[in-house]
Structure 1
Amino acid sequence: MPVAGHAASTKGPDTVADTAERVMDAVVNISTSQTVAPSRGVPTPELPPGSPFEEFFEEFFKRRQQQGEDQTPRRVSSLGSGFVIDPSGLIVTNNHVIADADEIYANFADGSKLKAELVGRDTKIDLALLKVTPEPGKTLKSVKFGDSDSLRVGDWVMAIGNPFGLGGTLTVGVISARNRDINSGPYDNFLQTDAAINRGNSGGPLFNMDGDVIGINTAIISPSGGSIGIGFAVPSNTATPVIAQLKEFGETRRGWIGVRIQQVTPDIAESLSLDKPHGALVGSVTDDGPAAKGGIKAGDVIVAFDGHEVKDMRSLPIIVADTPVDKEVDVVVVRRGKEETLKLVVGRLDEGDDTEATDETPKEQPDTTPAETTKMLGLEVSELTPELRTKFKIKDELKGVVIVSVEPNTPAADRGLVAGNLIVEVNQEATETPEDISKRIAELKADGRRSALLMISDAEGQVRFTALPID
């Protein structure tokens, strides 16, 4: 009997027909067209094996190659999905569905077709807001957003869209994972689902069992182009503030504080006396930016922002971006092992710039050895002399102890330290001579610490932190 009970509990909902009936008419097919210049060597479009159109396209393009290239401008069409969020005619879809389109149309379940105008788009989250004008006397069916934060892995969901141009199609699955980063943009925190999502589903809604939109289907992983059960949707709680801004301003107005951040690794957490790796480590602060004006310094670990926990480096840009511009917020930082609460006023991100940036490993600099050096931690270091400043092209205003060589196959080499880098601080204490470093390491060993936190600067002044073992 326990086996039968388990089977009953895992078979899924008995039916989603009632929910589907309520929301189906709010889902639309998005068709676009654009005029493109003639080009040579137009590739045959990729179609799923066995598609009824596969043989037709192969024959068509074979004739094109035999007849020579057509030099006339041509119209190109594409298909996607979307959904109505307001009876007045507001429709949400993906930006990539309508990008570069000359004309956009929304095709409704009853067979009607309305021309759509672009209200605004957001390339970073891949969303677009469209507007259609309903026919006189006709009210469009709309759906509302739900709370994506309430979803749990294993919750049932259904996707409705326009796969392969077939029209309104419903599939059912579960939430497979949350907060997925697929390297598509700076604010990745996708919902992952095994509900079948294919080409043409882009921009369509992902519903919970109450019929609320909890995601916008955006991407799939598929070697073949068809569903293999790995689809991704922008969470509704990420999308709704963006859509509200597009509706009000026709553009996004994201928060920005002006910091360069990096991940808190276990070694860095230990060197900063943190109980666990969490938060975002501030590598540098933009001059006269909101963070600088609020008192945030390089070496601070931001662990909370405006009442939201900063779990890791990736979560901070998302939280900041969703914070209203000009809002005064509390920022909790860990500085020298103690928590402090600072206040700052959130600025506005220039959409042409990066978000709160993350540090990158510096490029290798030519190796050179001065007359007097000291070896420690797998490094050969020297006081910064005028000759070394010139050889490594280090900016005049920078100070620190210069690394003149790095021993291969050491933690220092593994962490990307190279000749020409400067050690600016050791555990948030400034260093200008090798003796300063040696003294600080001895103090850390006496305190029972296993690693030292180094602030490293490249020749241009870009800084980052790394922890090196001192055992």
Structure 2
Amino acid sequence: MTRSDNTPSVTKRYRRALLAGVFGLAIAGVAAGQFVPPMNTPALAQITTSQPAGTFSFADIVEKVSPSVVSVKVKKDGGDQVAMGGEGPGGQVPPQIEEFLKRFGFGEGRGPGMGPGGPGMGPRGGMGPRGERPVVGQGSGFIISADGYVVTNNHVVDGADEVDVTTTDGKEYVAKVIGTDPRTDVALLKIDNVTNLPWVKLADGAPRVGDWVIAVGNPFGLGGTVTAGIVSARGRDIGSGPYDDFIQIDAPINRGNSGGPTFSLNGEVIGMNTAIVSPSGGNVGIAFAIPSETVKTVVTQLREKGSVARGYIGVQIQPVTEELASGLGIKDAEGALVAQVQPNTPGAKAGLKAGDVIVKMNNDPIKEARDLTRKVGMLKPGTEVQLSLIRDAKPMNLSVVLDQLPADTQVASRGNDQKGEDDSAGGKDLPRLGLQLAPSKSVQGAGSDGVVVTGVDPNGAAAQRGFKTGDVILKVGDKAVSTPKDVRDGLAAAKAENRKAVLIQVKSGEGVRFVAITLEGKAKG
């Protein structure tokens, strides 16, 4: 029954009263300290514990995994100071926490950061009591075998003269460093003469965004502390190294949690806590953990050999942008673009060429250039991999046997201030690059290949793309160049093919890369 005016009918009033009653019951349940999850919430329905019906707790999982988590205390020869990690400039600790730590005999809570990370971002070391001891730092770790193998961060134990491990029941052990891997910030320790320590398993699979996680560690040297949250994101690159592939979580993490585990609800380690973003020095709900797959791969090699040998193809790669994709004649801006192939390397022997776009490795998609770096770096030398790539807009496959990554790979840099013969690399109906060019053979010390950039117009299209004096243009399109005229001819050829952009291969102090120059209108910055 309804009325023509806007007055609610009896039915509507009843429905509202019923809803009000439902909300009242919900509020009463919260007030009574109980939470009844909606019946149609599958995520909550999947969680099973020994708690009474209608309640949920992490207590069962924490009780199961906590004995495997340890505090790691590091001693170094040095003065009476504290070595610890810091989040943000100066590694400041909030005044309230600082006062709390002083009250219990800890240091002032200030010190240099340890490990990778930029301003406002860094790993969390810990802090030790100030006093008669040498430099002391504290972090976290976890036991992965009954016979005493312990995993922690490299930055926790870096430069340590002595490493002590304390379990949750208060037992202390001296541990030795079996091996470290600074590139992934993983370290493996060993406690000798033990056979029955509690241990946890590294998960085989990756968590999903939104999964519940539990972090256990030693924040501020306080001992076993448990926090909970969810997986906020995966595949994070925080700029700490070429193998960045962090899991982002929002479980509260602070200094001293470094090296500690993050658990899934089935009690497996899905990641090792390593860094936080913290403009203020305190937790803001953005923490990063190394995925268990990476930890497992690195630890296996550290356990076998004490070091990590990484696979190596021998190519310089770069991301594929929309304009590069257009210049290459490919549809999707995905994959790893080969900018240069080093001679006598696995890539060269397999037939890889500059301009190839690698889109898969062993049938796993390569969405970004760093995907290839990570995947190759996690494989051992001698491993044969299958690469799917696009060359000249056509798909093809190559087989590559990986070599060992050299300890230090450097690219020689070259600067040049000489003036060139040409004041423009453009021409009629072609983009004016704003470059002065000269054949490399005519410039002392420039070698014999390509064309040297001897001057750059700061307002030109090339300057917008990062060209600098001293750069060497090796190719325009798919043609090698040796004179300024060759550059103009390459631009004209791309224009004649109705291409929207042309690829220029450039060698600079940072290595070899491809640059896309727009042929229609002004190049974008």
Matched, 1:236 2:278: no
- Whole-Å Cα distance in 2 between the matches of residues 60 and 384 of structure 1? 59
TM-score, normalising length from structure 1?
A: 0.85
Match of 1:191 in 2: 247
Q: Which of 152, 158, 171 matches 1:99?
A: 158
Match of 1:146 in 2: 203
Match of 1:79 in 2: 138
TM-score, normalising length from structure 2?
A: 0.77
Q: Which of 451, 466, 470 matches 2:515?
A: 466
Match of 2:464 in 1: 414
Q: Please show how residues 187-266 of structure 1 align to structure 2 within 5 Å.
A: 187-266=243-322
1:234 partner SS: strand
Post-superposition CA distance 1:278-326 (Å, at most 9, x none): 1111111222111111111122112122332211111111110112211
Matched, 1:303 2:359: yes
Q: Which moved more, 1:231-240 or 1:11-20?
A: 11-20
Equivalent residues, number = 443
Work out whether residues 134 and 140 of structure 1, in 8 Å CA contact, stay in contact via their aligned partners in 2: no
Q: Please show how residues 110-125 of structure 1 align to structure 2 within 5 Å.
A: 110-125=169-184
Work out whether residues 47 and 54 of structure 1, in 8 Å CA contact, stay in contact via their aligned partners in 2: no
Q: Please show how residues 165-184 of structure 1 align to structure 2 within 5 Å.
A: 165-184=221-240
The amino acid that maps onto 1:306 is N
The amino acid that maps onto 1:330 is Q
Match of 1:68 in 2: none
Q: Please show how residues 438-457 of structure 1 align to structure 2 within 5 Å.
A: 438-457=488-507
Match of 2:387 in 1: 331
Return the offset for 1:133: 2.7
Post-superposition CA distance 1:17-55 (Å, at most 9, x none): 11111111111111121221579xxxx995431232347
Q: Which runs of 5+ in 1 are unaligned?
A: 62-71
Work out whether residues 438 and 454 of structure 2, in 8 Å CA contact, stay in contact via their aligned partners in 1: no
Structure showing greater radius of gyration is 2
Return the offset for 1:454: 0.7
- Whole-Å Cα distance in 1 between the matches of residues 344 and 43 of structure 2? 58
Give the aligned CA root-mean-square deviation in angstroms. Answer: 3.1
- Whole-Å Cα distance in 1 between the matches of residues 91 and 394 of structure 2? 59
1:438 partner SS: helix
- Whole-Å Cα distance in 2 between the matches of residues 258 and 409 of structure 1? 36
1:441 partner SS: helix
1:86 partner SS: coil
2:323 partner SS: helix
- Whole-Å Cα distance in 1 between the matches of residues 217 and 401 of structure 2? 41
Match of 1:23 in 2: 65
Return the offset for 1:202: 0.7
- Whole-Å Cα distance in 2 between the matches of residues 53 and 16 of structure 1? 28
Work out whether residues 180 and 307 of structure 2, in 8 Å CA contact, stay in contact via their aligned partners in 1: yes
Work out whether residues 379 and 403 of structure 1, in 8 Å CA contact, stay in contact via their aligned partners in 2: no
1:36 partner SS: coil
Match of 2:446 in 1: 394
The amino acid that maps onto 2:95 is P
- Whole-Å Cα distance in 2 between the matches of residues 436 and 461 of structure 1? 24
- Whole-Å Cα distance in 1 between the matches of residues 321 and 183 of structure 2? 27
Match of 1:65 in 2: none
More strand by share: 1
- Whole-Å Cα distance in 1 between the matches of residues 254 and 300 of structure 2? 28
Percent identity of paired positions between Structure 1 and Structure 2: 40
1:314 partner SS: helix
Match of 2:6 in 1: none
Work out whether residues 161 and 205 of structure 1, in 8 Å CA contact, stay in contact via their aligned partners in 2: yes
The amino acid that maps onto 1:437 is V
Post-superposition CA distance 1:346-382 (Å, at most 9, x none): 01113x325xx8x99x887426242786534323455
Return the offset for 1:404: 4.0
The amino acid that maps onto 1:279 is G
Match of 2:408 in 1: 353
The amino acid that maps onto 2:96 is G
Return the offset for 1:196: 0.6
Runs of 4+ in 1 over 6 A off after TM superposition: 1-8, 10-13, 55-61
Matched, 1:278 2:334: yes
- Whole-Å Cα distance in 1 between the matches of residues 340 and 358 of structure 2? 13
Match of 1:384 in 2: 439
- Whole-Å Cα distance in 1 between the matches of residues 179 and 315 of structure 2? 28
Return the offset for 1:200: 0.9
Work out whether residues 213 and 265 of structure 2, in 8 Å CA contact, stay in contact via their aligned partners in 1: yes
- Whole-Å Cα distance in 2 between the matches of residues 148 and 316 of structure 1? 20
Match of 2:419 in 1: 368
Return the offset for 1:214: 0.4
Match of 1:108 in 2: 167
1:157 partner SS: strand
Q: Which of 49, 53, 65 matches 2:101?
A: 53
1:339 partner SS: strand
Work out whether residues 176 and 190 of structure 2, in 8 Å CA contact, stay in contact via their aligned partners in 1: yes
Q: Which runs of 5+ in 2 are unaligned?
A: 1-18, 27-36, 48-55, 82-89, 111-130, 521-525
Match of 1:424 in 2: 474
Q: Which of 111, 128, 148 matches 1:89?
A: 148
Return the offset for 1:249: 0.8
